[in-house]
Structure 1
Amino acid sequence: MIDFWLAAGLLLLVALSFLLIPVLRGRRAQQEEDRTALNVALYQERVAELQAEQDEGVLSSAQMDTGRAEAARELLADTEGADVARESRLGKPLPILAALLVPVLGLGLYLHFGASDKVELAREFAQAPKTMEEMTQRLERAVAAQPDSAEGLYFLGRTYMAQNRPADAAKIFERTLAVAGRQPELLGQLAQAQYFANGKKWNPQIQALTHEALKADPKEATSLGLLGIAAFEGERYQQAIDYWKRLLEVLPADDASRPALEGGINRASEKLQASGGKVETAPAVAAKGEVRLKVRVELSAELKAKVQPGDSVFIFARASSGPPMPLAAKRLTVADLPVEVELSDADAMMPQLKLSSFPEVQLVARISRAGQPTKGEWIGRSKPLASSTTAQQHLTIDSPDL
């Protein structure tokens, strides 16, 4: 901020110069006027002396005229070059008063309408924060300086959630909704913050927020995950499985949260089965032209002793005649087998290459200890089948991946 105030001070000096220069010029003009008056007085005194001498008979008329002419020449020489006296309409006190008031008034206006806090904040944000607390403090100051910034409010709310401050996050997300509108993602974030701030207790307000979010966007990820958590905590394991499976369908294939989400589905399935229940596959209603392939993947008895529970299992569908890369894929582990999965256009690896774009596909399941989807140790393949097939397929991993 030092360079800013130095620049402001320099500009202030320039402004003051426009007010003080006329005052200084006025003083010089006054000095010239005083000197001229003194010369006139001296001339008049000299003429009076000459007149007195003439009256006494010391000077003749000719000498009198000569002396007066000489005094007049001296007066003219002394006053030559002097400016014509100018009358000031403003007077001297007003410019001086203005020179004193301009800095005070300028500083007051800047402190009221200026943005010194934003300038300082921008300079601070140019450097990376060293700690999480420093980042939080910066975001708080940014929100204080720009209370109508939806982006700043949103990031502050997410930061509070990361610091396990859900009550503070809920207040911030409410402000974000007021600024940015009731967007589905913001509704989900607010519902999540309120849920944890309420001690993981569900209430009608949270239910209304998630319902509104999913009504506007059925794929809103935060609401789906939160509903799954609430169902799991309430021992409604089948609902938790359904919500989390819906969430898996909308997450990118390389999303870092997929393994944790799949682990949650497995735990919910185990608890449901331990309580005497049976995991149900929710009937999926495919949109017009959308492909959904159901497949049950098993491991042959001969391979059970040769694999490890943590080995990756890639289940994918590829075109029988077309590009070799998978069209849709899911990643599990050997510990998840046997498992029933569904491949659809939502699992597409590339938006322009979907299952529904090819009439015939092949199902593949590969075990890779190194976690490589293109190369592994064991594999299972199906025969080519129509992509419109609705019957569940069975796939057994039983052959070396050569």
Structure 2
Amino acid sequence: MNVFIGISALLTLLVVAWLVRPLLRKPTGHGVSSERLNADIHRDQLHALQADLARGVISQQDFETTRDELQLRLLDDTESFEATPKNRKQSFWTPKRTSVAVGLSLPVLALGLYLQLGTPEAINPIAAASRNDHQMQEMIDKLAQRLESNPNDPKAWVMLARSYKAMARFAEAQQAFERAGDIVKTDPDLLVDHAELIAILAGNQLQGKPEQMINEALRLNPEHPMGLMMSGLAAYQNADYQGAVTRWEKLLDMLPPDSPDAQQMQANIDDARAKGGLAATESNKLPPIPAGAGAGMTANNVNDMVDRLATRLKNNPDDLAGWARLARAYKVQNRLDEAIAAYAKTGKLLDTDPDLLTQYADTLAMRNKSLQGQPNELIKKALAIAPKHPMALMMAGQAAYQSGNYAAAIGYWKTVLSVLPVGSADIELINAEIADAQRKMGTVSKP
């Protein structure tokens, strides 16, 4: 905005200077003088008269008479020129005053015309965004009014539902989806959109109706990308980590190997495998990026992606899921303070998502070198939502162990064993933790 104002002011000054320069410039004195012109004419006539006398065309008397007439005429012309009044009244608008008036009035006039005919808010991104939101709101309201008088237009109801969803008017979006009727049930895109909306209204939980709708979308299109993504997320929330890995690996095969989406999906798969105690295989890993590939995911690439996400969230702070992604990314980069600040901005998601609560607690524990205090409170909150959440149970046992409550630690860890898949690699580790806690209590576990 400041650049625009500076350029506009400079151009206005240049125009003013161009206009007033001729008014302020002094005369150069090279113009034609009337007195000089008359003298030259009379001189030429006198030379011609002298030539006639020399050739004998006229007599001496005629020469003198004609010469006297020419001299009198020259004197008369000179007196007439000098008699021009020099003290005539000057006009108020002298060149100097005119230049001052032009210099002051032109910028004022230009500014007035711009304010009247231009769009000043267009150079202010915040005002422009607000104006665009207002225009979008007006369009949505007009569509809603049209549908009230003509409700038998399912495609228009779908458009209204998606518009409400984009504006975070979730309750109205749900009503619009319901008014759309059977068209939603036959379109996998609409089924997934509607399922996501219902999950948002349910605190980002996909169990129940959202999961059923996602399964129906995958029945209609088994390779629907968003359907596979959300189906894997539903399985993950149900602690069905094998199911999550299966669906996400199918989606991973559909993504470009060196794309950011593929890298993120691989990270999700690795996380599900770790939580489910599933052994990683080479076939699950992304192929190495060819040497010399300019689009390789180097550390700088990752940092740039994280910084772009952080910049976008500054302009869109209500994107709670975006803050959660940014917090996870910061945690992976070991930027713990920034990760904690991002987790704190996830808002209502933090009240309903046990995974998010557990990750937040783990980040705080990494920074504080302890699970006591706020991390332990977050873990308990996660277990209140999902009593058999493996990671929350594991961390609750560690917190109890750190505080010397070995019996509670053993209880949490035994619950973890009851939810882990048979053959999980974590079973042996947890048994070792239980045995250590029992020794601390002065007891010996039975074989």
- TM bucket by the smaller chain? 0.3 to 0.5
Higher helix share: 2
**Structure with the larger RCO, 1 or 2 (CA within 8 Å, 6+ apart):** 1
Q: Identify the structure with the greater strand proportion.
A: 1
TM-score by length of 1: 0.34
**Length-normalised TM-score, structure 2:** 0.31
